[in-house]
Structure formats: structure tokens, C-alpha cells
Homo-oligomer: A and B are copies of this chain.
Amino acid sequence: MSDQSALSRVRVVLTQPSHPGNIGAAARAMKTMGLSSLYLVRPKSFPDSEAYSRASGATDVLDNAVQTDSLTEALTGVTIAAALTSRRRELSLPMQWSRDAAQTLAGRIRTGETVALVFGNETFGLSNEDLALCQLPVMIPANPEYASLNLGAAVQLMCYELRLATLSLGEAPSMTGALATVDEVEQLMQHIERATTATGFFDPANPKRLMPRLRRMFGRIALERDEVNILRGMISFFEKPVTKRRTSTIETGLGQPPEDS
């Protein structure tokens, strides 16, 4: 099963949404995370231009949305329904935090099941009857003093968690160059020592803590090979007698291996 088909097995169910704008925001949130299956139980107004406006480029999710009269109908074919709830209720089911719930659902998706994320109305949440149809109550660990998550924001967070739980991300894209090896950095240190000794800034007879401090600093920044070359190029030019320096050293020095390497 490919990553994409895994996310196609996640159904987002909005029960009795009041604001068409929130339906559009939910569609956009879903699509940014690779989800596409939206069910609407008795929406107050749908289709609605406000939903399409807020959906931005995710109008296909709205076009394919399924409207039902009941949550039972919206859960046809679903083997586990997670109910988002913002308050503690008298439940006989163990509740899970959003991140743990995403792991639970991802495990079920991997065995080929279709799962649902069920969201209640903006004002009154999920009814007890609807909650009873769901097997997994889920809480987003919001600020207890202000847990007022917007419906679209809650959909965004859960879709993000599902995406991360089902996809293998791999390494973050990065344009970083090859890192310098320890010996290359050590050659730079020796170069600095030689050059600063020549200028009189560094006194080998009374070294104080200059070289350890520089070594510590360069160690922390994980120098790239090109950066070592830039620094050594700069120092090589400083080492030349002032009369022999060229006017522009910038382009020549960048990225070129130092003359004495």
C-alpha cells in the first residue's frame, strides 16, 4: 500500500457544521496534508460560495464531498471512528491525545482499514448519541484556559498528525554542502595560527586561550569544506605583503582552495 493510498483511507466527517467558511477551511487543510475524503452530516449550508472561497485551491475536495443525514451513514465502511472532543466527558472509553490517536489510526490504516476523524458542530460539539458511535475519543492538548480551537484549525492539526503518522518523511530537503572533515578544520587552525603569529596578534610564547576558543567556535558551527576554503583563501591574502595584494580579493578568494594546501 502506497503512502498516498494510506491517506485516502482517512475520512474527515464534519457533523452539522454551521459556517460554510469552516467547511472550505477544512477542505484546504485536508488537501495540504494529502487527504481528500470529506463527509458532511447535515451541513447548515452546502454547497455555498463561502466554502468555495475559503477552500482556495482545494475545491476538488468540496466537489467530491458526500452529504449524509446521519453520522451512522457517514461512517459506513469505517472500522474505527475517532471523535474530537474538547472537554472531559463521562466516557467509558480511554481517551487519547491527538498524537497517540494518530498512531493508533495509522496502525489500523496499515491493515487496510478505513478510519474516520469525526468533528462536532462549532458551538455545541458532538452530541452524546454521535459520540457513542465513535470508538476513540481524542483530545488535542490545548491550553486548558483557552481551548477554543477553530474547526478548520482542529482539522488541520489532525490531518497533519495523520500525515506524519502514515508517511515516512525521510530527511528534510537541504542544500547544505559537504561538511569539512576534522583534519581539514585542523589545517585551517594551523593556518590561522601561522598567519596570526606572523602579524604579531598571536604570541606562541604566551598563547593564552586564543586557539582553544577558536577551535571551540569552529567545532560548534559544523564548517563545510567550501567554508574552510573560503576562510583559508581570505587568510592567504592577508598573509601577502600589502603591496602585492590585488584590489579585489573577493571573487578570487571564494571557494578556491588556498594556495598552500
Contact = CB atoms under 8 A, between A and B. Distances in A.
Interface of A: 25, 28-29, 31-34, 56-58, 88-97, 99-100, 139-143, 146-150, 152-153, 156-157, 160, 163-164, 167, 169, 172-177, 224
A94 to B, nearest CB: 5
Given A92-B224, A143-B163, 13 more contacts: A25-B150, A25-B153, A32-B149, A33-B142, A57-B146, A58-B148, A92-B177, A93-B176, A94-B172, A100-B172, A141-B164, A152-B153, A157-B160
Contacts of A143: 31-34, 163
Nearest to A143: B34
Contact of A174 (B95, B146, B156): B95
Contact of A89 (B33, B92, B175): B175
Please tell me how many copies of the chain the complex holds: 2
Given A32-B146, A143-B32, A149-B32, A175 B88 contact: yes
B97 A176 contact: no
Nearest to A54: B150
A148 B88 contact: no
Contact of A175 (B29, B92, B142, B169): B92
A97 B152 CA distance: 22
A23 to B, nearest CB: 14
Contacts of A88: 173, 175
Contacts of A99: 164
A25 B150 CA distance: 9
A59 to B, nearest CB: 11
Nearest to A146: B31
Contacts of A92: 175-177, 224
A99 B164 CA distance: 9
A58 B145 CA distance: 11
A217 to B, nearest CB: 15
A167 B141 contact: yes
A124 B57 CA distance: 17
A181 to B, nearest CB: 17
Contact of A157 (B141, B150, B157, B176): B157
A84 B99 CA distance: 22
A156 B150 CA distance: 10
Nearest to A226: B92
A130 B95 CA distance: 43
B28 A150 contact: yes
Contacts of A163: 141, 143
